[in-house]
Homo-oligomer: A and B are copies of this chain.
Amino acid sequence: MKHLIHTLNKAFDNRVRLGVMAVLMANEAVSFNDLKEALDLTDGNLASHVSALEKAGYVLVNKQFVGKKPNTTYQATKEGKSAFQDHLTALEKLLRGSP
């Protein structure tokens, strides 16, 4: 008997990735440093989680120069947004105890 918990997306089962997605749902594009400060993470830590989300096709990476400085921004893909929504509704269903 398959339970709801098995439908939760493994890509989001981590607090940092939840935070990243939450920020990216609320803001169109967010820079590396803004994300890092917003979530209070070390850069390596953030980089690894973001790259995991990128590999999953859930975030889009945009490397460019702003003035003379490199600037990488991230945004959620359409897939990412809907997968995240699905994850949230599954979570809610699970937590409201209504199978």
Chain A residues close to B by CB (< 8 Å): 1-6, 8, 13-16, 18-19, 22-23, 25-26, 37-40, 88, 91, 94-95, 97
Q: Is the interface of A mostly helix, strand, loop or mixed?
A: helix
Q: Which residues of B contact A37 (CB under 8 A)?
A: 1
**Considering the chains assembled together, what is the distance between the CA atoms of A58 and B45 in angstroms?**
30
Number of copies: 2
Are the C-beta atoms of B25 and A97 separated by less than 8 Å?
yes
Instruction: Determine the residue in chain B with the shortest Cβ distance to A6.
Output: B40
The interface residues of chain B lying within 8 Å CB-to-CB of A3 are 19, 38-40
CB < 8 Å: which of B15, B25, B38, B94 contacts A18? B94
A34 to chain B, nearest CB (A): 11
